Structure formats: C-alpha cells, structure tokens
Structure 1
C-alpha cells in the first residue's frame, strides 16, 4: 500500500511539474514573456478551462507587449544605424503574439483585442531598407574592393527588406563588379613531344576547375583566350609552368634466393615405401620500378604593379611497379607463392604519356586546394 501511495504521489507531482511547464508559468517566472504567451495559448487550445494557463496568458501578454514597446521606444531614441531592423523585429513579435491569441477562442475571452502594428512594420521595413541603402552608398564611394564588397551586402539586405527599393538592384550590380577580382589563368606551355596530349588533358582539368569555381563569388577566373575575346583587363595573372619533370626512370633489381626443402618424397622402395630426401632450387626474383615525377610552379602576379603576390611549387611523383621470377632446380623447393610468381611474365609498362598523367594527379590536387585557400578571403 505504501508503494502504491508513493507512486500516486510521484505521478501527481509529475503532473504538477508538467502542467507548470506547459502553461508557460516557468517561462513567465524567467521573464521570457513571448514563450510564456505561446505556451499558455497552446495549453488553452487543448484545455480551454485551464485556470493556471488563463492567469499566465493575461499577465504574460501584458508584460510582453510592454517589453516590446519599451524596446521600440529605446531604439527610436538611439543613434544605431540599424535601429529600424530592431524596431521592425519587435513589431513583428507583437503581431505574432496577436496571431497566436487570435487562433485560440478561449484566449480571446481573456485578451479580446490583441494589438497589431501592420503599418508600423511596413514603415520600419522601409526605414531599415533606406538605412542599408545609404550605408551601401557610403561604402561604394570608398573605391576599394573590400568596401565594395561591404556595399554589395548592404544593398542585398536592403533588397531583402524592401524588394525593388529605388535602384538597389543596379547598385548591387555596381558594387559586385567593383568588388570582383578578375584572374586570368595562362595555359601551361609544353611544346610537342610524347607528353603534349597528357599536358593538354591536365590543362583541361584546370580549365574545368576555374570555370566551375564558386567558393567565392567575388573572384572570377578567365582562360587567356576567353579574356582576350571579352577584352578583360585582369587584376591578377596566374601562371603555371613545369620547372622540371622526368618520365620513365627505370630500375630493375634482381634478388637471388637459394632454396631447399627437407623431407620431400623423392622416390619409393621396391616395397613401394616412400623415400624422403632434400630438394633444392635457385630462385631469381625481379623487381622493376618506373618512376615519374615533376614540379609545377604557380605564380600569381598583380597586373597593375607587375609584382608577384604569391608563388608556390607543387611536387608530384608516380611509381609503376612490376615483379616476376624464374628458377632453376626442383620446383618442389618453392612455396606456392613463389611458384605462382615464376609463372608470371614481365608486363609492358604504361606509355610515357600515361606516366606523365599519373604524376600530375597529386599536383592537381595540391594546386586546386591552394587556389581555393588563397582566393577564399578575397
């Protein structure tokens, strides 16, 4: 019986705690008036006669309204450039409270005419857009890229607050092109030879990267031919050249192993009993490696000053390997793996153009990572 009484007590206590939370009482005690109103409204929608929620709603709504109006008045008296966004936010919160109450019949009995500020929201949006627009004009007059970038974001916020405000779209466009860094990427020059096709493919990968680059919208890459056709005056020129490369350096290493195995059946007696003995063999293992490597130089030059602002070197290496073996003597001296190796034949290595392409793969990965890192902050 005692256990049942305790269980009932804890259930009752839990209901009181849960009830206190869902009616908004705790939020009210913490001074979170908006949350208190929302919870009280939710409770009254499900339980219209909940006395605690009714009491909480009336008190919380009055306090929430007073709190938002106080913040609005304080903001209007401040010199904060963006004060109208704060004012708009508080008016919107008041309107949200009214919408919540209007959706609850039991709540309207307690708060029959919740305040709404429709025109005030529209006016504050307009004033907020004007503040952002004027701020953007100020940044744009500074005539440097970082200020133009700030101007772009100010015009963008003005556009979001008040679509088609004045000539904000045109100003956004002006700010964008004033903030953009135009980078012309010069092609890698590799005259003729067996590697030209591979170098062209490597160049195509770089061209594809710069054409799809989107990490920073204030940086635009142009190929040299594209820049010429569009008469682009670059801000920077990015040059790529191989300082050096070596393809097909071949090494062949032979390793000789003397093998023997005891207790191997080498015959039988007249009585057909096995005769055990030792078998021997000489195993020659051949290991062939073909090494290819190169070093790519990347330099970025400021077009106006003709000074190199960044220079990096990216190494790449690719090693092709093959192995096979031969033996002399009794094959029973060899393990299964060794015997399988003797059945392999030397294979033809990839052509030089393929080896060239392989060592450029790690170079490409380093290159695009560095370009992305460098231009991310522009």
Structure 2
C-alpha cells in the first residue's frame, strides 16, 4: 500500500510537468502555451513521453497566434490619433511598451524550447525578430514625450490649483522613469513641487473642562512630539507645529484642531456571587443505630458556600479632532478618538466544610491594582500616538 501511494505521489507531478501547453493553446492563452511547450521540450522525454511529441507543434502554433495578437495591439495603438488636449490622456505608448516586453518574453521562451531538443524550430522562428530592445527604446522616448506633454499642460495651472501641480509633478517623474534626464523634466518637477504640497498647521489644543490646564498642556506636548517624530504622511503633505515657521511663503490650506471632550478618571465597581459546592466523595457525618444494637456510619457529601468577588476599574479619555479650511472656515473632516482602560481582578472566599473544596485553592486578588494616575498616563500617552497615526493615515493619499 505504501509503495502504491509513493507511486501515485511521483506519477501525478510527472504528468503535470509533462504538459505540452496544448490545453492553454485551445483556451487561447497563447503566451502560456509557448512557455509550457518550451518547458516540456527542455525536459527528458520521460516514461510516457506525454506531451513531448506534440510540444513542437504547440510551440509553433501558439507562438504565431501570440505574436500576431501582440502586434495587432501595437499597430492599433501606434496608428491611433493623438489624444485630444481637452480629454484625459491615454498614454498609449506605455501600453505599446508592455506589448514589446511580452513579445521579448515570448521570443525568449520559444528559443529556450529548441536549445537541445527541437532544431527544426529554429527555422520558422528565424522569420521573427530575436530582440525588441531597439523598439523598446524608441517607445520609451514616445512614452516620455506623452508624459512630458501632460505635465506641461498641468504645469500652467500650478499656482491656482494644487492638484494640477501634483499631477504635473507626477507626470514629470514618470517621464524621467521612461527616459532619465528627459528634456527639462527634472528641473520642472522641482519647480512645480512646492505648489503641489498640501500645507497643514496643527493648532494647540483647545481649552477643556475635562482635565486641568497643566494636563492639557502635557497632552499637547506629547501630541506634538509624536507628530514631529512620525514620517510625513505623503510627499505632498507638510504638517507644521505652532513652534515652526509655517508656509515658507506658500498658503496654509488647513488647520487641524483638537479638544479633550471626555475624561472618566476612575470608576470602581465590586460584584460578588455565591454558590453552594459539594465534595466529590461522601464523608462520615454521624452514626445511627439499627435494631437498637448495631451502629452504622452516616455517609454524606459535605458542602460549603463559595463566594466569587470581582473588582472592575474603568477609565476613559476622549478627544475630538477636526480640520478646518483656512480659506472658508468650513470643517473638512471630524473624527473622535478615545482610549479606555478596563482592569479586573477576582478572588474567592469560602464558608463551610473545607472538604467541599476537593483540594482546590481559592483565587486570590491581584494585590497591585492600578492607581488613577497610572491609568491616566497610559491613556494619555496612547492617545498622543493615536493622533499622530490618524493624521498620517488621513493624509496618506494626498
């Protein structure tokens, strides 16, 4: 039985590895069919020669279909009319470049298929290009030109529209990705970047009746430290603290404001519940006479009352955070933040026959409950971290 299992364990991977790509060919997945057929030809014939005889034909047919498929897309996009300046750019040359990458991969896969086992494949493959590097380089220039043109159009609106400036910067950068040092893309991207940045001031905490002025200042100090320590939410966002020179001559777009809205300092509650428990075995609890002469033991399970006590301590600290548009005064977004603490300890007391405990020990209370200030410090520190994290996540996509 063990040998049979081992045989099938080896047989199934063998069949899988011997696929000639015929199924992928029939499904119209021509690139995959070429890859599978090539892989099969580079393997030993195997015990059953499964797929080996059909692999050359699959390779040839799948390659022809895949090549024509990619070339059709390339011709269609290359001959398309330039994008209307009033319409969103399509960046067609980037898709053309991807098609040439697919063609290069297709050709490389096909050539690997006849290195050792299919010399005849070289005859028909010789009619196709062996390398598309030159075409890729040509298309890179065209793709960079598309991006540069889109960047220049957006650049014109940089002073009045921050998002247009951001769009221009991104297009310049993509042009540089296609062709390093393309025209004036680097200088233009540096020039437009300051206009693309969203500038936000984090204001001091508003006064509150929930905590003292001293604690409010301490919380504010911790929040500012966390914000300063955290990375920028985005390359296009700058957060300014009250101690910093804000704007550098550029307008401030938003002001983030905060206020402590609730504080539950130390709510303590104690609960208890009792239950009667019994011993697992019977014990002698007395004697009785039978027929006025014979004494017998009275055997019963002993019992007692087990009382479970529970002490709960709760605390909470809540803060409201919102952002204001500095031009209109409108609230752009608002979010509540809060930290809560819940500390619990339990202990047991018992009255009755100790044998009812069946050897179990009573629970003991935690002798070190948190103080009011321990809970507050923990919540305050975590709340400062919450604010910094929320600001980072809120503006991460700007």
Instruction: Give 1:189-338 correspondences, 5 Å limit.
Output: 196=214, 200=218, 203-205=221-223, 207-209=225-227, 211-213=229-231, 216-227=234-245, 233-243=251-261, 245=263, 247=265, 292-318=315-341
Q: Does 1:354 align with 2:374?
A: yes
TM-score normalised by L of structure 1: 0.67
- Whole-Å Cα distance in 2 between the matches of residues 235 and 334 of structure 1? 75
Cα 1:230–1:289 change in 2 (3 A) is farther
For residues 348 and 38 of structure 1, the distance between their equivalents in structure 2, rounded to whole angstroms, comes to: 68
Q: Secondary structure at the match of 1:123?
A: helix
Separation (CA, whole Å) in 2 of partners of 1:93 and 1:256: 73
1:5-46 Cα shifts (integer Å, max 9, x gaps): xxxxxx9xx97x986x41x33333344333333333333334
Inter-CA distance 231–350: structure 2 relative to 1 (3 Å threshold):
farther
Q: Which has the higher helix share?
A: 1
- Aligned to 1:183, the other structure's residue is in SS state strand
In structure 2, the residue matched to 1:96 is: 105
Pick the aligned partner of 2:56 from 48, 54, 57. Answer: 54
Deviation at 1:240, TM superposition (A): 2.0
Q: Which residue of 2 aligns with 1:32?
A: 29
Aligned partners of 2:213, 2:313: CA distance in 1, in Å? 16
2:148 aligned partner: 133
Q: Residue 40 of structure 1 contacts residue 57 of structure 1 at CA under 8 Å; is this kept in 2?
A: yes
Separation (CA, whole Å) in 1 of partners of 2:30 and 2:243:
63
Cross-structure match for 1:122: 137
- CA 1:164 to 1:374, structure 2 compared with 1: closer, same or farther past 3 Å? same
Deviation at 1:133, TM superposition (A): 1.6
Q: Among residues 152, 156, 159, which one is paired with 2:176 in the alignment? A: 159
C-alpha offsets along residues 317-357 of structure 1, whole Å, 9 cap, x if unaligned? 54667899999xx9989998xx978x98x978756543432
CA distance in 2 between counterparts of 1:239 and 1:40 reads 64
Partner of residue 189, structure 2: 172
Rounded to whole Å, the distance in 2 between the matches of 1:256 and 1:25 is: 73
Instruction: Find the counterpart in structure 2 of residue 111 from structure 1.
Output: 125
CA distance in 2, matches of 1:303, 1:205: 22
Pair 1:110–1:44, CA change in 2 (3 A) = farther
Change (3 A) 1:91 1:323: closer
Q: How many residues align?
A: 351
SS at match of 1:224: coil
Distance 1:183 1:210, change over 3 A: farther
Gaps of at least 5 residues in structure 2 are 1-10, 84-89, 285-306
The answer to whether the 8 A contact 1:250-1:291 is kept is yes
> CA–CA distance in 1 between the matches of 2:103 and 2:348?
85
Gapped regions of structure 1 (runs ≥ 5): 1-10, 266-283
Q: Which residue of 2 aligns with 1:182?
A: 199
Alpha-carbon contact 1:27-1:33 (below 8 Å) kept: yes
TM-score by length of 2: 0.64
Secondary structure of 2:240's aligned partner: strand
Q: Output the aligned Cα RMSD.
A: 5.2
- 2:304 is matched with which residue? none
User: Is the Cα contact below 8 Å between 2:35 and 2:106 reproduced in 1?
Assistant: yes
Secondary structure of 1:34's aligned partner: helix
Counterpart-to-counterpart distance in 2, 1:287 and 1:40: 71
CA, structure 1 residues 82+310, in 2 after alignment: closer, same or farther (shift >3 Å)? closer
The CA deviation at 1:302 is 1.7
Q: How does 1:138-153 map to 2 (within 5 A)?
A: 138-143=153-158, 144-153=161-170
SS in 2 for 1:226: coil
